């Protein structure tokens, strides 16, 4: 009888502990008065698959331009106030861009023609086989509340996709300098 009471007490404490912990972070619920989107659940990209790291329930960026996409950058990982952080940046061949994130914010505009020309030139000159041949050897930033960046470059007749957790990206290379300059221009300080 004492064993049963002891086990029942432990089970009750576990249930109460789990219930107390679960109410603050249960997807779709919040103790705040303003609604909050549910955390992302489909954010585990696979190295060879072309999967989306943007939650399917979130507002996807919509490019008003009919021009084909030149570059997509998807960020995933870390924890934001609304749940797991994510963002998408897309640049079309005509220079139009859209950017969206988990807060529901969406920005659009047009890149400076000089930035667009440099980005196109660097994408055209890039040796993607050589870039992909450099394996990432560190710890993926998502392991310490950072973000994984998945790049998709649309080239003549093909698509090159890889993440900074798969490939050792040289941020000083002309391609990634052009990418960072284009992305930075979307959000001037």
Radius of gyration of the chain from Cα atoms? Answer: 21
Residue 149: count of CB within 10 angstroms of its CB: 21
User: What are the backbone angles phi and psi of residue 152, rounded to the nearest 5°?
Assistant: -125, 115
Give how far the C-alpha of residue 147 lies from the chain's centroid of Cα atoms, to the nearest Å: 7
User: Is the Cβ–Cβ distance between 106 and 188 less than 8 Å?
Assistant: no
Distance between first and last Cα of the chain: 69
Helices H / strands E in the chain, number of each = 4, 6
Q: Name which of 157, 186, 152 is nearest 50 in CA terms.
A: 152
pLDDT given for residue 53 in this prediction = 35
User: Is the Cβ–Cβ distance between 107 and 98 less than 8 Å?
Assistant: yes
HSE-CB of 172 using CA atoms within 13 angstroms:
0
Q: What percentage of residues in the chain have a pLDDT greater than 70? A: 65
Q: Which residue has the higher pLDDT, 45 or 182?
A: 182
Q: How confident is the model over 79-108, as pLDDT tens digits?
A: 777 777 899 999 999 999 999 988 888 999
pLDDT given for residue 189 in this prediction = 62
- Which pTM value belongs to this model? 0.64
Of 4-18, 45-59, 121-135, the range with the lowest mean pLDDT is 45-59
Q: Give me the CATH code for the 69-185 domain, please.
A: 3.30.1560
Query: How many angstroms separate the CA atoms of 20 and 23, rounded?
Result: 6
Q: How confident is the model over 24-69, as pLDDT tens digits?
A: 333 333 333 333 333 333 333 333 333 333 333 344 455 555 789 9
pLDDT given for residue 14 in this prediction = 37
Query: How many angstroms separate the CA atoms of 54 and 106, rounded?
Result: 14
DSSP character at residue 78: E
Q: What percentage of residues in the chain have a pLDDT greater than 90? A: 48
């Amino acid at each position: 009888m004492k064993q049963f009471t002891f086990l029942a007490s432990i089970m009750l404490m576990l249930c109460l502990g789990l219930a107390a912990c679960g109410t603050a972070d249960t997807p779709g619920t919040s103790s705040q008065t303003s609604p909050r989107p549910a955390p992302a659940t489909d954010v585990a990209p696979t190295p060879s698959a072309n999967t989306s790291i943007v939650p399917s329930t979130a507002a996807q960026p919509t490019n008003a331009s009919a021009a084909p996409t030149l570059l997509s950058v998807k960020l995933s990982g870390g924890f934001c106030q609304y749940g797991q952080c994510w963002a998408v940046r897309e640049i079309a061949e005509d220079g139009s861009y859209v950017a969206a994130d988990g807060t529901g914010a969406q920005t659009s505009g047009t890149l400076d023609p000089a930035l667009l020309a440099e980005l196109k030139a660097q994408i055209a000159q890039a040796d993607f086989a050589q870039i992909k041949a450099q394996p990432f050897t560190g710890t993926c930033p998502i392991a310490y509340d950072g973000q994984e960046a998945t790049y998709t470059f649309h080239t003549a007749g093909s698509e090159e996709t890889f993440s900074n957790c798969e490939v050792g990206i040289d941020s000083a290379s002309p391609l990634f300098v052009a990418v960072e300059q284009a992305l930075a221009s979307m959000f001037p300080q």
